[in-house]
Structures are given as structure tokens and as C-alpha cells.
Amino acid sequence: MNWDGLELSILGPACLAGLLVLSTHVPLGQQVLARGIIFIDLAIAQVAALGVILAQYLGMDEQGYGVEIAAAIAALIGATLLTWTDRKWPDYQEPLIGTLFVLAATGSLLLLANNPHGGEHLKDLLVGQILWVSIGQLIPVAVLSVLLLTAMWFWRGRLSGLLFYGLFALAITASVQLVGVYLVFASLIVPALATVGIAKTSRRLALAYAIGACGYVSGLVLSAVLDLPSGAMIVWTLAGCGILARVLMRFGSGSRTSAVVSA
Amino acid sequence: MNKFAFFTLLLFTFVTPSAHALNVFACEPEWGALVHELAGDAVTVDVGTTALQDVHVIEAKPSLIAKVRRADLVICSGADLEIGWLPQLIRQAGNSKVASGPGYLMAAEQIVTLEKPSKLDRSEGDVHPQGNPHFQLDPYRVLAVAKAVDARLVELDPGKTAIYQQRLADFSTRWQAAIKVWETRAAPLKGRKVVVHHGSWIYLLQWLGMTEIGALEPKPGVPPTSAHLASLIDITKGGNTLAILRAAYQDPKPGDWLSEHTGVPAITLPFTVGGDDKAKDLFSLFDSTIDKLLAVVK
């Protein structure tokens, strides 16, 4: 037991980062699950990383907004490619996403043979260090989240094709650099998976947000108390909160049959 | 400022240094062990990493931030070894005492580092512009760092000057005696050649008069190519090589692979305090390192 780390000023920025990521990823996760393309976030994140490495390979400075722009452009190109494959071979979208993922990942390795400094960035992008987040980093992400949420609300029900893949690519590029791929994957999939079968959209979203928030807060607290790495801990508490929500719904299903599909 | 606040402040300025023991945060186990030698129970030491971790990259844990937050002194190797996480850690801890000035001590700044590049060239891999930061296995540099750390402890905690000075004198005597014993014992190692995993042994090798004839990771941080591995097999076989060296935290697979292809033994050295069962403090770290090297001398 370790009570030292249990301080709002230590866990606060990380918690805010988590809630920001959840704000866009919970609704996007519902889409991702409905389309059955759950590995798209890994693929887009890898393509973004490839963009960063390529930019550095071509001589761009590793500091500053240039890298962010390179990552976003690469992610958008990846999104355009996936929109095209989705239209052309809709039945094979998932295996195509998988192939894009390994191509981007190994493409980075091939480029890295001459650019070791890209390697550190790649690792940061994949593992992420949610505790190192500063408030200054959160401001641009907060602005982007508001824009993305507005766009999602404006085009609600009509979010498909390039629009969906483009918004998704921008959201992932920002969140992966903040918290890493593992947490991004868990934030997208776990709340969506735990709320499958709830008919009413607003109720399903509200519950998914609650599961996400519960996962981040309990994960940060547990990582402080048990002295374990925060990112990995949160992935597990997110899953725990999802299962807990599922169990509670099962018990409550007698009185609110409309809410849950009998499993 | 009103009078009361001023006097309270004045009171605290004089009372706090003696009222609480100095909190020291050491990035690596070797500096934690050194502070323990120099201060004993007079200070509280937190160590950020273990011998089984790669200190270039560490996982962020809330307790690390809490430890740096309460620290009066942060001691790290420096020379960019912790560049990937220490700046963020100090920023996140928001502790101005250790952000710069007397509360911030980089061991590399107290000594002369080796392999300081004359020109900065990214193509050479993961270079450290301030030289190679893995100098904890040179006992003379450790002694130089000990003197600097001790001076810093005195500066930050003058009430215990006598303790710190007496312990430094005691440590220096025992350390210099130990260096003589190590150098005598290590005489058979002189002139022997080794292949290393990563360029982290140069100080030890230079001290013992040994030579590095090849590295598994020629550009640190970049995986080796097949052409490099092929030439490394030839170098290792042809050079009457004593051993393939790796640190406790490094992946054993590349060294074992090379060992299988060449018949040269691969050995795991503790690298820092806690790296094996024997290396419990700085003295036993060197004892164990030399024991393990001598064990493969035929």
C-alpha cells in the first residue's frame, strides 16, 4: 500500500486527459463496434506514427507542431485509403485494416534503420505515459474534442464514409499521443462492448460514459495505491467497470426489461 | 508582509533543516547506494529505478511523482540518460527545489565523460552529446561523484556537516582500499577482449585494461542488421574473445544467439546495485562484477 501518490495535483491532469479522450471515443467506439472494425484504431495510430517517422526521415525537427501535422496528415491519408477500401471491398474491411496495421508498423521499422530518434517517438505513441500529461498539452486536445463532438452531433446518424474515417483519424491521432494505444483501444471498445444491446441511444451513451469515467478514476487511484504503472492499470479497471456494469444490468433486468437484451 | 508572517517564515527557515531529515531522490540504484554510504540514516533515500529496468525508458507511476515532490535533492547520472522521463517527472512534481540549483545534481557534470562526440551526427544512432552516461562501473569516477554529492549534502543540510564529512572520509578510505584489491584480483583480465550488447561497459573496460571489439547493437537503440551479425560472428570467433557482456536488464536472446554461433560464453553482469543476488551495495557490486568476469578466464 502506498498513499503518497494519492494527490489530486498528481492524478488530476491524467484524469482530465482520460475524460477528454473518453468524450470523443465513447461515441466513436459505438460506431467502431457496430461496423465490426475494432482494430482500426491500431491501424490509424500506426499510420500516424509512420507519418511522424517519415517526416523526421525527411529532415523535419522532432519538436514542435510539424510532427503533429505530419501525424494528422498521415492519419487522414490512412483514413481516405480505408474509406476507399470500405467502398470497394466492404466484406474484407477488417482484414484490410489488419494488413494496413502491419504494413505501417513494419514500414516504421524499415525507416528507423536510419533514424533512431523516431524510435523513441514511436514507443511513446504506442505505450503512452498518461501521468506525464500537462495542462498545457490538454488545451489543444480540448479544443479539438469540442470541434469533433460538434461535428459528430451535427452529422449524427449520417456519420459514414470519409466523414467517419476522417473524424476518427483526427481523434485517434490526438489521443494516442496523450495516453497511448492501449488506453485508446480500451476507451473505444470496452464502454461500447459493455453497453451492447441497450436500445435507447442516449441511455447507452450515458452508461458508456459512466463506465469509462469509473474505469479512469478507479484505475488512477489503484495505480497510486498499489504503486503500479497507471496506463496499464486503467485498461484493467475499465474492463472491470464494464463487467460490473454488465452484472448490475443483469440484476436490474427484471424490472427494466426494455433496457437490456437477455443474454 | 506582516510581522507575524515574517517571523513565522524566519522561524521555519531556521527550524526546518534540522527538524526533518533531508529527502534524497536517486534516479538509479548506484546513486541511492552512494547516498546511503555518505549519509546513512541521516537522510531518507528514494530510488526511482531498479537494476532490472532500462533507465532510458521507465513507466510513469504516481509514486514517482510523489517522491520527487517531497525531495530536497535529486541525484541522477545525467548526460541525457534520463532525458526521456526526468524533465517530465520534475515538471509534474512541481518542486522548484529540485528543478535546478543545489537540489539538482547530475553526476555526469562532476566527472569527465568518455565518448563525448566531437560533432553531433544523428546518423550515428542514439548518441549522447554529453558523452557516455554509464560511468558507475569506474570506481575512480564513483569516488569523484561521492565528493560532489557529499559537498551538496553539506550545502543543503549544514547542521549535519560533521556526520557527512566523517562518513565521506570513512567511505574514501574503504573505497580506495577496495580499489587496490579489485585491481590486483582483476590483473588476469588485462588485455582481454569482449563483445558487448550495448556500449554501456566502456568505463569498466577502460579501468580494467580490457578492449571492446564489437557490439550487438552497433548503433545503440537500432536493431542489428544481418550483415552486422555475420561480421560480428567472425570478429568474435577470431579475436580470442573472453566473453559477451550484457547487463541484468538487457534481453539475453541476442547474446545467447551470438554465444551459440561462436562458443564464446555470454555473461550477465549486475551493472548496478541490485543487478544480482550478491550486488547489495557499491562494494559488492564491484566484487560480483569482477567475480563473474574472472569465472570465465581459463
Tell me which residue of B64, B100, B96, B72 sits closest to A10, measured CA to CA.
Answer: B64
- Three-state SS string over chain B comes to CCHHHHHHHHHHHHHHHHHCCEEEEECCHHHHHHHHHHHHHHEEEEECCCCCCCCCCCCCCHHHHHHHHCCCEEEECCCCCCCCCHHHHHHHHCCHHHCCHHHEEEHHHHCCCCCCCCCCCHHHCCCCCCCCCCCCCCHHHHHHHHHHHHHHHHHHCHHHHHHHHHHHHHHHHHHHHHHHHHHHHCHHHCCCEEEECCCCCHHHHHHHCCEEEEECCCCCCCCCCHHHHHHHHHHHHHCCEEEEEEECCCCHHHHHHHHHHHCCCEEEECCCCCCCCCCCCHHHHHHHHHHHHHHCCC
**CATH number assigned to the domain comprising residue A135:** 1.10.3470.10
pLDDT for the residue A70? 87
β-partners of residue B211 are: B193
Q: By the CB < 8 Å criterion, does B59 face chain A?
A: yes
Cβ of residue A7 closer than 8 Å to a chain B Cβ:
yes
Q: Give residue A124's pLDDT.
A: 65
Domain for residue B3, yes or no? no
Query: What average pLDDT does this structure show over A30-37?
Result: 89
Q: Cα–Cα distances in Å, from A35 out to A57, A192, B131, B141, B166?
A: 35, 12, 52, 61, 71
Residues B108 and B249 in one domain: no
State residue B168's pLDDT score. Answer: 97
pLDDT, tens digit, 9 for 90 and up, residues A142-197: 999 999 999 999 988 787 888 999 999 999 988 888 888 889 999 999 999 999 98
Tell me, yes or no, whether B118 lies in a domain.
yes
Inter-chain contacts counted by CB atoms under 8 A, chains A and B: 80
What whole-number distance in Å separates Cα of residue A1 and Cα of residue A118?
Answer: 37
Question: What pLDDT is recorded for position A123?
Answer: 65
Distances (CA, A) of B31 to A134, A244, B44, B80: 28, 45, 13, 16
Q: Using an 8 Å Cβ cutoff, are B105 and B152 in contact?
A: yes
A224 near B CB under 8 A: yes
pLDDT tier at A117, thresholds 50, 70, 90? low
Residue A257's pLDDT is 47
Give A194's contacts (C-beta < 8 A, 6+ positions apart). Answer: A207, A208, A211, A241, A242, A243, A245, A246
The answer as to whether A260 is a domain residue is no
The residue of chain A nearest to residue B123, with distances taken between CA atoms, is A114
Do B211 and B124 sit in the same domain of this protein?
no
pLDDT at A259 over 60: no
Q: Is B69 on the interface with A (CB under 8 A)?
A: yes
State yes or no: pLDDT of A116 exceeds 60.
no
Average pLDDT over residues A193-202: 91
Residue contact B222–A112, C-beta within 8 A: yes
pLDDT tops 70 at residue A260? no
Q: Would you say residue B24 lies in a domain? A: yes
Q: What distances in angstroms separate CA B135 from CA B29, B35, B114, B143, B144, one per listed residue?
A: 13, 17, 9, 11, 11
The pLDDT score that the predictor gives to residue B83 is 87
Whether B64 maps to a domain, the answer reads: yes
Q: How far apart are CA B245 and CA B58, in angstroms?
A: 23
Q: Is residue A50 part of a domain?
A: yes
A223-255 pLDDT, tens digit per residue, is: 999 988 888 899 999 999 999 999 998 887 655
End of a domain among B181, B215, B245? B181
Same domain, B165 and B212: no
For position B16, what pLDDT does the model report? 45
Reported pTM: 0.80
Location of C-alpha cell 544480482: B276
Q: Give the residues of chain B that fall short of pLDDT 50.
A: 1, 9-18
Structural domains in chain B (count): 2
Q: A129 CB near a chain B CB, below 8 Å?
A: yes
Q: Does B42 reside within a domain?
A: yes
Residue B1, pLDDT score: 44
Q: Which of B181, B200, B233 is the last residue of a domain?
A: B181
B219 vs A116: CB contact, 8 Å cut-off? yes
CA B295 to chain centre: 24
A263 part of a folded domain? no
Kindly determine whether residue B66 and residue A7, on different chains, have CB atoms separated by under 8 Å.
yes
Å between A110 CA and nearest CA of chain B: 10
Sign for the pseudo-dihedral over CA of A156, A158, A163, A169: positive
Same domain, B173 and B246: no
d(CA B265, CA B270): 16
User: In whole angstroms, how far apart are CA B147 and each of A58, B164, B285?
Assistant: 46, 10, 20
Same domain assignment for residues B49 and B159 = yes
The domain total for chain A is 1
**Across the interface, which of A9, A132, A230 has its CB nearest the CB of B94?**
A9
A138: nearest Cα among A94, A190, A178, A183: A178
Report if residue A100 sits inside a domain. yes
Judgement on whether residues B153 and B235 belong to the same structural domain of the protein: no
B37 and B98, same domain (yes or no): yes
Judged on CB neighbours under 10 Å (0-12, 13-18, 19+), A2 is middle
Residues of A in Cβ contact (< 8 Å) with B65: 5, 10, 131
> Please, what is the average pLDDT of chain A?
86
**If you average pLDDT over residues A6-22, what whole number do you get?**
91
Supply the range of the domain harboring residue A106: 8-252
* Spatial separation of the C-alpha atoms in residues B238 and B244, rounded to whole Å: 14
| B25 and B140 assigned to the same domain | yes
ipTM over 0.90: no
Q: Is A84 exposed, middle or buried (0-12, 13-18, 19+ CB in 10 A)?
A: middle
DSSP secondary structure letters along chain A: ---TT--HHHHHHHHHHHHHHHHHHHHHHHHHHHHT-TTHHHHHHHHHHHHHHHHHHTT--SSSHHHHHHHHHHHHHHHHHHHHHHHH-GGGHHHHHHHHHHHHHHHHHHHHTT-HHHHHHHHHHHH--GGG--HHHHHHHHHHHHHHHHHHHHTTT---HHHHHHHHHHHHHHHHHHH-HHHHHHHHHHHHHHTTT---HHHHHHHHHHHHHHHHHHHHHHHHHHT--HHHHHHHHHHHHHHHHHHHHHHHTTT-TTTS---
We report the CATH number of the domain holding residue B101 as: 3.40.50.1980
Mean pLDDT of A15-34: 94
Is position B36 within any domain?
yes
Best interface-test mutation with B: which of A120, A123, A124, A218 has the largest number of B CBs within 10 A? A120
In a domain, B1, yes or no: no
Q: Indicate whether B48 and B131 sit together in one domain.
A: yes
- Whether B57 and B140 map to the same domain: the answer is yes
Which tops the pLDDT comparison, A55 or B185?
B185
pLDDT band at A121 (very low <50, low <70, confident <90, very high): low
A129 interaction partners in chain B (CB closer than 8 Å): 59-60, 85, 88
State whether B92 and A228 contact (CB < 8 Å): no
At B82, give phi and psi (nearest 5°).
-100, 20
Which residues form the domain of B208?
186-295
- Of B181, B200, B216, which residue constitutes the final position of a domain? B181
Statement to judge: residues B208 and B240 lie in one domain:
yes
Q: Is the residue at A164 inside a domain?
A: yes
Q: Is residue B2 part of a domain?
A: no
In a domain, A258, yes or no: no
The residue of chain B nearest to residue A221, with distances taken between CA atoms, is B62
Q: Within this chain, do residues B99 and B222 fall inside the same structural domain, yes or no?
A: no
